[in-house]
Structure 1
Amino acid sequence: MLHLRVICPSDRADRVLALLRAQPGATHLVHLPGAGVLPAGDVIEADVAREATDETIGGLCELGLDHEGGITLEQIDTALSDAADRAEAEAPGDAADAVVWEELLARTGEESRLNVTFTAFLSIACLLAAVGVITDSSVTIVGAMVVGPEFGPLAAVAVGLVRRRWDLVRRASLALAIGFPLAMAVTALGTFLGNWAGLFDASVLSGSHEVDFVYQVGYWSLIVAVLAGAAGMLSMTSAKSAALVGVFISVTTVPAAGYASVALILGEWGRFVGSTAQLAVNLVGIVLAAAGVLLLRRSTWRAGDAGRPLSEG
């Protein structure tokens, strides 16, 4: 379940209470008249079954409370209550299949920002990938996959495309378009300094290695990217975040960026082109698969709950 808190103008409190009372998936309703300070108004709280949340948020937004008040949601880990059990049983659908669009927009919007933290994680991940390439260490490559923060912006692009939120698409695309080249530049500099210091030479890329899959782009690269993108978006929309770890260690976005940086400095142009193509295939495949999952879940949601308004967020 999710905990809902609403701050609304006092003259709209009765309508909010009526909306929540009419929602079978809502319970633990609390009304605190005049408790809101900034913005001023009444505070109304309720616990809402996940599968009923999107409809509830849509109704509250129709009352203008996202502009003249405030709506917040928090995840409830444990609810010991017969009333909560009844609300979840009476809410249509299943919690694991419910998509809370406003929550998804907020989550992907936050993770799509280009900032120092995102750039630092991406740079460290690419440096780890470069170390894995140089030392032929698959374990280090996997570590780089896990550290990489790129799935957030990729998911944001998919959500923005499906919801036609072009501001979200632009922001996430900017994070990727600037973040990856910057991280690759840092990795290339690290590779140059390591080569200059005599830690390794061009021979580290000669011959056959365990990590050669990073630059060997092909049909399987796209297949893995599509499956990972689908699993990642399913994980985000169903709040099963543990599955994201499997997504991180299955795609070769960060390893490909790291490999391209190493190959560029060491003059391995064929491998540079291959790893760059691998990066592009993975990025595109993840976005297309994630968007496809959202479209499927959206159409399923509409078919199962005909007539429900879709909040535009």
Structure 2
Amino acid sequence: MRYLEITVPKGKRPAVLEILEDEGIDYVVSDETSGRGYAAVVRFPVPTQAVEPLLDRLKRVGIGDEASVVVIDAETVISEQFATLRDQYAHGSQVGARTSRQVLRTKADELTPPFAIYAVMLLISAVVATSGLLADSPAVVIGAMVIAPLLGPALAANVGIVTGDDRLKATGFSYQAVGVTIVVLASIGLAALARLAGLEPAGVDIVVATELQERVAPNLFSLAVALGAGIAGILSLTRGFSEAIVGVMIAAALIPPSAAVGITVAWGMYGAAIGAGVLVIVNVLSINLAALATLWIAGYRPQGLFEVSPTRTPTYTYAAIFGIGLLVLTAPLASVTLLDFHTTELESAAEDEAETVLAEPEYADRELDDVEVELDGEYPIQSVERIVVTVTGQDPGTDPGLAGRLHEAISPHSDDPLVVEVQYVVSERRGHEADGDGSVRAASDPTSYRAARDSIPSVLVPPIGDV
């Protein structure tokens, strides 16, 4: 429920009261004596669903932006006439009732903090996110998402589009662009300092960290977070639900990928930086497109098929820009997704073929330990570099024909040339230990080394001994 207080300009009092009477609204009117050009002040309670259509009717009779309209949440209204009015506007439960365009615009504006606070919070978020990615710590990365104030700008831009508020739209888009830039630049600075200090987790290849790797080679599933964030953000704004969790979801789509751009640039891995950058842009477009589409579906759009509305053309234009940009940029994501599918299928097929080969009598002393498909690391679009088959056995030597046999069995499962490498894990029997019941059991110590390997193209390297 809402309680409205409207100042009525001189000459508009009869028209306003006629609308309120026609709607069956129980109102209180008092004369305005401030001398500011107003004739009266009207106060009345209405159901939440009635606010927008009522203000639209009042606007058509001259109660526009120059008038003062105050909308207040009302806890309880005890009135038989109000109960009749509530039944008239009821479309299901009052919980999650649709917010009026006027209130929506105010809420979106309130969610956008002053720029100084916005910039400082994003700097802090960038530092935390960069630290979390470098340390490969999901908990720290989540902390960065919690403090990032990105919900307001993402929603303000699209609310500004559908309500014709150019100031709100410009603020929303500029905040988004500046926010991403702040995170990228701060991440470059922090990552460069970390590299100069010798803090290189996982060695030179920084992207092997799980938290970072999934951002520099994004796939189509990455879109789910951004699209869901945009939809949830608008629903929280229009239906009065909590915005806190939704803000974290939007930050999850933007903060870690932006920090990943900065880290990979600092490490000179520009291919990986392009991959993370594409993810950032795709997520920005996805959030805005999903928010705009949700606003449209929720009814925040120009009314009437042939109505000439100042918001119709901008709404269509921005929707087309978001949609076309998203379609173009999802092409590399689709390629990465196909590669993921191919890698999974190839790994499964290679494992089956390896088990079949090792079941042959001449390899009776060998057992399959692991099969891994390794990519070439050429981000953002990678390709299969080799298949590494790890086998166990007590013989530290290599089997010269095993790599060729595996290559012959696995190659038909890929259209591209494959390199198959065999690595050996040596199990060294230490002796016998007595169990508590007096029986004797064998104790083994698996020992792995990468020097003993066999691969196709066929290059045999003698083992250098146990590690």
- Shared fold (TM-score, shorter chain, > 0.5): yes
| Separation in 2, partners of 1:164, 1:10 | 27
* Matched residue, 2:120: 120
User: Aligned in 2, Cα 1:295/1:219: closer, same or farther, shift over 3 Å?
Assistant: same
Given that 2:151 and 2:246 are in contact with CA atoms closer than 8 Å, whether structure 1 keeps it comes out as no
Larger helix proportion of the pair: 1
| Separation in 2, partners of 1:217, 1:252 | 12
Q: CA deviation at 1:302?
A: 6.0
Q: 3-state DSSP class of the match of 1:298? A: coil
User: Aligned in 2, Cα 1:299/1:181: closer, same or farther, shift over 3 Å?
Assistant: closer
Larger strand proportion of the pair: 2
Residue deviations 1:166-199 (CA, integer Å, cap 9, x gap): 5543332222222321332233323334444x37
Q: CA deviation at 1:282?
A: 0.9
| Separation in 2, partners of 1:143, 1:38 | 51
User: May I ask how many residue pairs the two structures share in their alignment?
Assistant: 304
Given that 2:101 and 2:163 are in contact with CA atoms closer than 8 Å, whether structure 1 keeps it comes out as no
Given that 1:154 and 1:172 are in contact with CA atoms closer than 8 Å, whether structure 2 keeps it comes out as yes
Q: 3-state DSSP class of the match of 1:79? A: coil
Residue 82 of structure 2 corresponds to residue 81 of structure 1: no
User: Aligned in 2, Cα 1:299/1:171: closer, same or farther, shift over 3 Å?
Assistant: closer
Given that 1:216 and 1:275 are in contact with CA atoms closer than 8 Å, whether structure 2 keeps it comes out as yes
* Matched residue, 1:248: 248
User: Aligned in 2, Cα 1:147/1:69: closer, same or farther, shift over 3 Å?
Assistant: same
* Matched residue, 1:107: 107
Q: CA deviation at 1:147?
A: 1.9
Q: 3-state DSSP class of the match of 1:240? A: coil
Structure 1 counterpart of 2:208, which letter? G
| Separation in 1, partners of 2:247, 2:112 | 17
Matches within 5 A, 1:196-275: 196=196, 198=197, 200-201=199-200, 203=202, 205-210=206-211, 212-242=213-243, 244-246=244-246, 248-249=248-249, 251-275=252-276
Matches within 5 A, 1:1-313: 1-24=1-24, 26-27=25-26, 29-34=27-32, 36=34, 40-76=38-74, 78-83=75-80, 84-94=82-92, 95=94, 96-111=96-111, 115-163=115-163, 165-196=165-196, 198=197, 200-201=199-200, 203=202, 205-210=206-211, 212-242=213-243, 244-246=244-246, 248-249=248-249, 251-298=252-299
User: Aligned in 2, Cα 1:247/1:9: closer, same or farther, shift over 3 Å?
Assistant: closer
Q: CA deviation at 1:277?
A: 1.5
Identity %: 20
Given that 2:236 and 2:246 are in contact with CA atoms closer than 8 Å, whether structure 1 keeps it comes out as no
| Separation in 1, partners of 2:52, 2:61 | 15
Given that 1:39 and 1:69 are in contact with CA atoms closer than 8 Å, whether structure 2 keeps it comes out as no
Q: 3-state DSSP class of the match of 2:221? A: helix
User: Aligned in 2, Cα 1:302/1:64: closer, same or farther, shift over 3 Å?
Assistant: closer
Given that 2:12 and 2:62 are in contact with CA atoms closer than 8 Å, whether structure 1 keeps it comes out as no
Question: TM-score, length-normalised on structure 2?
Answer: 0.57
Residue deviations 1:69-102 (CA, integer Å, cap 9, x gap): 21121223x2152444443222243443524112
| Separation in 2, partners of 1:280, 1:11 | 52
Given that 1:6 and 1:44 are in contact with CA atoms closer than 8 Å, whether structure 2 keeps it comes out as yes
| Separation in 1, partners of 2:35, 2:216 | 57
Residue deviations 1:211-240 (CA, integer Å, cap 9, x gap): 533333111111221122112111211111
Given that 2:164 and 2:310 are in contact with CA atoms closer than 8 Å, whether structure 1 keeps it comes out as no
Structure 1 counterpart of 2:231, which letter? A
Which stretches in structure 1 are left out of the alignment for 5+ residues?
none
User: Aligned in 2, Cα 1:91/1:194: closer, same or farther, shift over 3 Å?
Assistant: same
Question: TM-score, length-normalised on structure 1?
Answer: 0.82
Residue deviations 1:19-51 (CA, integer Å, cap 9, x gap): 223224x44x22221255656542211122111
Structure 1 counterpart of 2:287, which letter? I
| Separation in 2, partners of 1:206, 1:219 | 19
| Separation in 2, partners of 1:300, 1:173 | 20
Q: CA deviation at 1:114?
A: 6.8
Residue deviations 1:224-278 (CA, integer Å, cap 9, x gap): 2112211211121111134x51452364211111222222223333332222111
Given that 2:50 and 2:89 are in contact with CA atoms closer than 8 Å, whether structure 1 keeps it comes out as yes
Given that 2:98 and 2:239 are in contact with CA atoms closer than 8 Å, whether structure 1 keeps it comes out as yes
Which stretches in structure 2 are left out of the alignment for 5+ residues?
312-467
Q: CA deviation at 1:280?
A: 1.0
| Separation in 1, partners of 2:180, 2:272 | 18
| Separation in 2, partners of 1:179, 1:79 | 41
Q: 3-state DSSP class of the match of 2:126? A: helix
Higher relative contact order (CA 8 A, sep 6+): 1
| Separation in 1, partners of 2:72, 2:37 | 19
| Separation in 2, partners of 1:125, 1:115 | 15
Larger Rg belongs to: 2
| Separation in 1, partners of 2:148, 2:302 | 32
Q: 3-state DSSP class of the match of 1:253? A: helix
| Separation in 1, partners of 2:101, 2:65 | 18
Given that 1:214 and 1:252 are in contact with CA atoms closer than 8 Å, whether structure 2 keeps it comes out as no
Given that 1:229 and 1:247 are in contact with CA atoms closer than 8 Å, whether structure 2 keeps it comes out as no
